[in-house]
Copies of this chain bind each other. A is one copy, B any other.
Amino acid sequence: MFFVRVNMNDRTYQVTETPPEYRHLAGRGLTSTLVANEVPPLCHPLGPNNKLVFAAGFLSGTSAPTSARISVGAKSPLTGGIKEANAGTSWAADLAAMNIQALIIEGQPKEKGAYWGITITWEGKPKVEFFESTQYTGKVLPDVYPAMYEKYGDKISVCGVGMAAEHGYGNSGVVFNDMHKRPTRYAGRGGMGAVMASKGLKFIVLNRMGAPGMPIVDKALFEEGRKKMIDALRTHAITKPKGALNTYGTAVLINIMNEAGGLPTRNFSSGRFEGAPRIAGEAIFETNKKRKGEEIYNHACSPGCIIQCSNTIFDEKGDEITSCLEYESDWSLGADCGIDNLDDVAQLNALCNAYGLDTIETGTTIAVAMEAGVIPFGDSKGAINLVHEMGKGTPIGRILGAGAATTGRVYGVTRVPVVKGQAMPAYEPRAVKGIGITYATTTMGADHTAGYTIAPEILGVMGKQDPLSPEGKAALSRAFQATTAFIDSSGHCLFIAFAILDIASGYQGMIDEVNGVLGTSWTADDILKQGAEILKAERRFNEAAGIGKEADRMPEFMKTEPLPPHNNVFDVPDAALDSVFAEL
């Protein structure tokens, strides 16, 4: 396996064998360890000393199901701390097929406003070539992505950044192609797009033609694990074909969270939204059925996924508005803004994808602006206009592009739902205490995927726990955070967790798959330990960047304002928050 280092100072590159100390790292484990080891914690995130690291998971590029995740890591311009964001895309499988364990983008060109792309092809080893890309800037992504396919053929995978990144926004993602060549699969959170753009890099095009594919040391063991994983995914109610995710998508959670009183509404001022049924996964399924004249089940974002949770939203004529509308996006651009018009929510989502914005940060930021009186809650046309302003980079657009924390600061708003500068996702911490602990303590800034305790607290995965109780939740969040750090390294989508946490053979399947690829003999204990090591490396970086345990706290309003309908505050003691890392 190779490390490919691209130097944007002078547009050169270097291919080396993977150094021994990184051999057994992949995905988030590899991006975070490299960032922690090589990036000065106090560097400017958009300056020449930050590094942008891409690493696919252990299993990416293999036939393991639902395993084409790519991790993107750097120091975040949104949080000032370490960041890993990941996406599902053929790009991950192609990077792995070319045996590139880490792609590391370094330096920064002296020319301001000039952009390049790179292609990586296989000529006995990875080969990097540069091409001018300034002509593709200042345009929405759907207008420039096709040019890459025209230029480099149909067999490629494409990574890029949009106008949000070109503006240097803390809210700007790195985008990857989906199965239909669309720029829709985002490593969305924490401003990884702006880091890439700050390096004068607009596109990374992969062509795996001739590449050897991912080596597998113990094929029999891998195959055994793969079968266990497939069985688990095909059996579990959430992940099975025509199951919850395949039918309703992640937006199946809208009604569930609303029922639980934990759907953050109108800038986190209530846990229940009266318009929830109109934007819920069930409404998407029924609307599509009506508009297309048949039941539409969801599709895969990347090759080899058997969960297939990506929906499409069709307009009244049956044309696609967006693909896909995730629960988080549906919530942030919908309920959190008081918007219940599904077509408008879908259009907002499409605009975020077109400009290269993170949907979670965008919706929560608009909601903070609504609280400030910029536009009223529920004003979907006003919200659409604001997203266009973000794309254009006008002053109001730039305020919003800097994210919810900055928007709150600029408008003097005191109810700003952020931790470490990153906006909270779609689960109210006052109604679901465990996820609040994850938001508060994860190295990432508020992030549900870092330790998704919603599984037991709401969905009853691994047995049901009372979401309103803080009891035992620090330990729960810690276990989920460590396990997740490993899953984020495996290449598997986090959604396998629903199945493998309930079905023990599925969990063993993941371990077998990874041991098969690497020739290791890791146990479940080893996996938890590795997850913990990843978290500790991230934590060390953050502490050196000035982000210590005082940053592991909820915003003040969540500790003082009771949330309807349960009228709970966030009552997890600081000592419990501190125990998450202290006892790791």
Q: Which of B168, B551, B556 contacts A47 (CB 8 A)?
A: B556
Kindly provide the distance from the CB of A139 to the nearest chain B CB, expressed in whole angstroms: 19
Task: Tell me the residues in window 544-581 of chain A with beta carbons closer than 8 Å to chain B beta carbons.
Answer: 544-548, 550-551, 553, 555-557, 560
Write out the residue numbers on chain B whose beta carbons fall within 8 Å of the beta carbon of A40: 556
Shortest distance from the beta carbon of A476 to any chain B beta carbon, whole Å: 24
Question: A29 contacts the other chain (Cβ, under 8 Å)?
Answer: no
Looking at the assembled complex, report how far the CB atom of A439 sits from the nearest CB atom of chain B, in whole angstroms. Answer: 15
A42 touches B395 (CB 8 A): no
Set of chain B residues within 8 Å of A381, measured between Cβ atoms: none
Complex partner residue of A398 from B77, B411, B555, CB under 8 angstroms = B411
Find A44's partner among B42, B167, B168, B555 (CB 8 Å cutoff).
B555
Residue of B nearest to A167 (CB): B412
**A46 engages B414 (CB within 8 Å):** yes
Interface residues on chain A, number (Cβ under 8 Å): 41
B-facing residues in A367-419 (Cβ within 8 Å): 394-396, 398-399, 401-402, 406, 409-412, 414
Q: Is the CB of B398 within 8 A of A44?
A: no
Asked if A497 is at the interface of the complex by the 8 Å CB criterion, the answer is no
The interface residues of chain A, by DSSP majority, are classed as loop
A43 at the interface (CB under 8 A from B): yes
A412 with B42: CB separation less than 8 A: no
Q: Indicate with 1 or 0, residue by residue over A165-207, a CB within 8 angstroms of chain B CB atoms.
A: 0011110000000000000000000000010001000000000
Determine whether A49 belongs to the interface, using a CB cutoff of 8 Å to chain B: yes
Q: Separation in Å of the A180 CB from the closest CB of chain B? A: 32
Q: Quick check: A395 and B399 within 8 Å, CB to CB?
A: yes
Q: Are A409 and B402 in contact (CB under 8 A)?
A: yes
Of the residues B43, B47, B412, B555, contact of A169 by C-beta under 8 Å: B412
Contact between chains at B42 and A550 (CB < 8 Å): yes
List the 10 closest A-B pairs by CB distance, nearest first. A168-B412, A546-B550, A395-B395, A395-B396, A44-B414, A47-B414, A402-B410, A398-B410, A44-B556, A546-B551
If A77-B409, A398-B410, A399-B410 are given as contacts, then 4 extra A-B residue pairs at C-beta distance below 8 Å, sorted by A number, are: A42-B556, A167-B412, A398-B399, A406-B406
Expressed in whole angstroms, the Cα–Cα distance for A560 and B50 within the complex equals: 14
Contacts of A44 in B (CB 8 A): 414, 555-557
Cα-based distance from A564 to B441 in the complex (angstroms): 44
- What mask results when residues 32 to 63 of chain A are scored 1 for a CB within 8 Å of chain B, else 0? 00000000111110110100000000000000
- Give the residue among A395, A548, A560 with the most B Cβ atoms within 10 A: A395
